[in-house]
Amino acid sequence: MGIIKSSFSFIVGTVCGIYIAQNSDVPNIRKLAHDALYKAKLIEEKYQKPKTKSDYEEDDG
């Protein structure tokens, strides 16, 4: 009886999650995260301070 009582909320949550995923339009989290990282990278490149000649010399040695 102990294992059923301790895992009841997990089982109910899993069943509810499966039902919601099958019967509603759940967004693709992986695609949303990829798009957000891509947009953040574009913004970073757009507002990045331009390198000067001394910055290039420091990178080499």
Q: What is the pLDDT of residue 4?
A: 78
**Structure pTM?**
0.46
Domain count, the chain: 1
Quick one: pLDDT at residue 11?
Answer: 93
DSSP 17-55: HHHHHHHS----HHHHHHHHHHHHHHHHHHSPPPP-HHH
Banded pLDDT at 55 (limits 50, 70, 90)? low
Distance, CA of 14 to CA of 27 (rounded, Å): 18
Q: What range defines the domain where residue 52 resides?
A: 2-60
Which is more confident, 4 or 40? Answer: 40
Per-residue tokens: 57: 């010399």
pLDDT tens-digit series, residues 6-53: 899 999 999 999 998 888 887 888 999 999 999 999 999 888 877 777
